[in-house]
Amino acid sequence: MTHPSPKSEFIQGIMDQLPLQLGVVPFGLVFGVLGMASGLSAWQTILMSSVIFGGASQVVFAQLWMAGAAPIIVGSSVAVLNLRHVLYSVAVAKYLRLLSLRWRILLGYLLTDEAFAISIKRFEHDPTPRNAHYHLLGSGVTLWAFWQLSTIAGVVLGATLPAHLNLDFAIPMTFIAIVLPSLRHVPHVLAAVSSGLVAVFGQSLPYNLWIIAAAITGIVIGAQAEKWKAQQ
Amino acid sequence: MEGATMIWAIMIVTGFATFLMRFSMFSGLIHRALPPALDRYLTYVPIAVLSAIIAASVFISHETQMPTIWNTRVLAAVLAMAVAFRTKSVIATLIAGLGVLWVLENLF
């Protein structure tokens, strides 16, 4: 079997990633606007997109900071939200294990939801991929560039956007677009509903603990429901 | 620590933690697969966390800070959910949610 060259893998990664930018760009814009509105400086908002490089967790960071949450709560909420990346890491590990440390560090940094979603298909398509890591590099770099540019655009535009547009409402709308299509089984729905209920009625919990309490409730109820369902 | 320094500190620590989670399984340090139970729990992380944020931003009134099931944001969100379910499109959901909210708040 012939293997595509590194260059053609890299370009294919870019091409496969481009359609997803339709959703990434508005999300980045909204984060840029929200970051500034929540009291972060322009530099903090822009650099967070490189340092954390995780859309939903950056939004949570900004919202909790704006609400005056303690640093430990902000930090652990971001960490809980990003735990899912361990799953992506598991899934791609067998394809990346033999690469040099430098490659593995770079691809680890680029392993976001979107890059994973696109490149895992490439990896699974060919059981012994020789240059497929260039595909992940291409899709990861593409996402990175669009995320940085749309964050910067949001920071620049933020000051000029009128308040009556309710742009903060774009965050839950973006999440609705992500979560709703992923509710495929009853346990998923139970996880979503139970987490939502704790979030709404746990608002008075001290230290903004509601987000962690809601997340743990949803995760445990969803996973237990799935287990019971499988045993029946 | 003052506010700005604290933001940088949290950002760098959580950024490094996020990197470690992404890098963990091909870091060369972990050779075992995840136990199936942990794997099952992890798959519910995105749904649970994102639902919490959605619920808090939709069902908490901006005026009273109390739970509500009847205001413009709830109406807009319900419509956006229908659009998300049918189209699976971020753009369409954003337009539906923000558009309905704008109409409700500015025309009535």
* Model pLDDT, residue B72: 93
- Whether B76 and B97 map to the same domain: the answer is yes
- Whether B96 and B50 map to the same domain: the answer is yes
Our count of domains for chain B comes to: 2
pLDDT exceeds 60 at position A1? no
pLDDT digits (tens, 9 = 90+) for A36-51: 988 899 999 999 999 9
- Whether B70 and B24 map to the same domain: the answer is no
- Whether B39 and B92 map to the same domain: the answer is yes
* Model pLDDT, residue B97: 95
Paired residues of B60 in beta bridges: B67
Distance, in Å, from the CA atom of A34 to the CA atom of A56, rounded to the nearest integer, reads: 12
pLDDT exceeds 80 at position B26? yes
- Whether B63 and B97 map to the same domain: the answer is yes
Q: Which amino acid is at A195?
A: S
Distance, in Å, from the CA atom of A217 to the CA atom of B48, rounded to the nearest integer, reads: 8
φ, ψ of residue B67 in degrees (nearest 5): -60, 145
- Whether B42 and B25 map to the same domain: the answer is no
Closest approach of chain A CAs to the CA of B63, in angstroms? 14
Provide the domain limits for residue B28.
Answer: 1-32
In chain A, residues with a C-beta closer than 8 Å to the C-beta of B90 are 22-23, 26-27, 174, 177-178
Distance, in Å, from the CA atom of B87 to the CA atom of A49, rounded to the nearest integer, reads: 28
- Whether B57 and B82 map to the same domain: the answer is yes
Closest approach of chain B CAs to the CA of A231, in angstroms? 14
The whole-chain average pLDDT of chain B stands at 90
Give the residue among B56, B44, B67 at the shortest CA–CA distance from A208: B56
- Whether B9 and B54 map to the same domain: the answer is no
In chain A, residues with a C-beta closer than 8 Å to the C-beta of B21 are 82-83, 85-86, 89
Query: How confident is residue A26, by pLDDT bands cut at 50, 70 and 90?
Result: confident
Residues A141 and A110 sit within 8 Å (Cβ to Cβ): yes
Average pLDDT over residues A88-100: 90
pLDDT digits (tens, 9 = 90+) for A156-215: 988 777 767 777 788 888 889 889 988 999 999 999 999 999 999 999 898 888 988 999
Nearest to A173 among B4, B8, B97 (CB): B97
The ipTM assigned to this model is 0.88
* Model pLDDT, residue A105: 97
Nearest to B73 among A27, A89, A169 (CB): A169
- Whether B21 and B43 map to the same domain: the answer is no
